[in-house]
Amino acid sequence: MKTEELCRCRVASQEKGLYRLVCDGGEQPARVSGKMQYEAVSPSDYPVVGDYVLAERNDGGQAVIHQVLPRKSLLLRKAAGTGREEQAVAANVDILFLCMALNHDFNLRRLERYLAAAWNSGATLVVVLTKADLCADPAEKIAAVEQAAPGTDVLLTCAARADGVQPLLPYLTPGTTVAFVGSSGVGKSTLMNCLLGEEAQATGGLRNDDRGRHTTTRRQLFSLPGGASLIDTPGMRELGLWDADAGLETAFADVEALAQQCRFQDCRHGQEPGCAVRAALESGELSEERFRSWQRLLAENRFADDRSAHLSAKEKKFRMIAQYNKNNAKH
């Protein structure tokens, strides 16, 4: 089919192999074409919520997606579980709201993980602290977050108050796409319902053991009254790193700067002489918790990089096979 005969649409929801597209004529269920399935060699080759695609409309039936248009941003993570492959979370996001509740769920080490994973996405990151009414000293928590995420906007919200989502509004300009990301039960869906002015998503809060309940079950894109678009994602019990070298360098810029000052380039920051990182730990300039978090995430990312390199070689091989078969089919 010729490109000019296809319709430019946006992926509004995704659940397994089923999609819902928003087009000029309204919404329509969709599937990917057989050719697209044949040529795809990694999960990110498939459409994800927020993607712009070229699709063949089918009145009364399923549309067929033929092409994913170039993305300006893409949030990736290692797929949950023991498998070692990437998972695309959302595409074409302008502002990524990283949500964390101000209760027992507050965890700077988890925030560092989210920052490292998300900084590579191409979106602007904003930390959103939720449930301010449950915190006796929000200022202390804000200061801790600002230290862990220097240069990143930090917003304080409380969906229980009428004006509790006001800090989010300046970011919701017409044509902007924002996305909420965070662990289960931190209040993403509640904030989204406040912004939409309707009960678009179920809410659940935290269980008795303070571990979140999954309430959003699939990724969805919504249109906000002011002209912005909002992507809600299921709560993530884990956010594995994938190709996060640049994200780690940014999220831990202070530790990386210290490491550059070490006497030896291959310093392991143990007992080596002239270790600037160890000196900062001993003086209290760098906390042991942040240092251990950096080491742990570095090791995880190296493991993911090894797997990513393996998959890249595998993808190249399959692309060559697909191109060979395509060329032979013409003869």
What is the domain partition of the chain in residue ranges?
3-68, 74-232, 245-327
Which residues lie below 8 Å from residue 63, measured CB to CB, with a gap of 6+? 7, 9, 21, 23, 28, 29, 30, 31, 55, 56, 57
For position 183, what pLDDT does the model report?
A: 85
148-160, pLDDT tens digit by residue?
Answer: 998 899 999 998 8
pTM of the predicted model as reported, rounded to 2 decimal places = 0.78
Q: What is the radius of gyration, based on Cα positions, of the chain?
A: 22
pLDDT band at 180 (very low <50, low <70, confident <90, very high): very high
Give the DSSP H or E segment for 7.
strand 7-15
Give the DSSP H or E segment for 282.
helix 276-283
Does the structural domain 245-327 have CATH classification 3.40.50.300?
no
170-179, 237-246, 252-261, 315-324: range with lowest mean pLDDT: 315-324
32-58, pLDDT tens digit by residue?
Answer: 999 999 999 888 899 999 999 999 988
Q: Name the CATH architecture for the domain at 3-68.
A: Beta Barrel (2.40)
Q: Dihedral of CA 42/47/52/57: which sign?
A: positive
Q: In terms of CATH, what superfamily is 74-232? A: P-loop containing nucleotide triphosphate hydrolases (3.40.50.300)
Closest CA to 71 of 88, 96, 55: 88
- Residue 45 C-alpha from the chain's centroid: 17
Which residues lie below 8 Å from residue 190, measured CB to CB, with a gap of 6+? 130, 159, 203
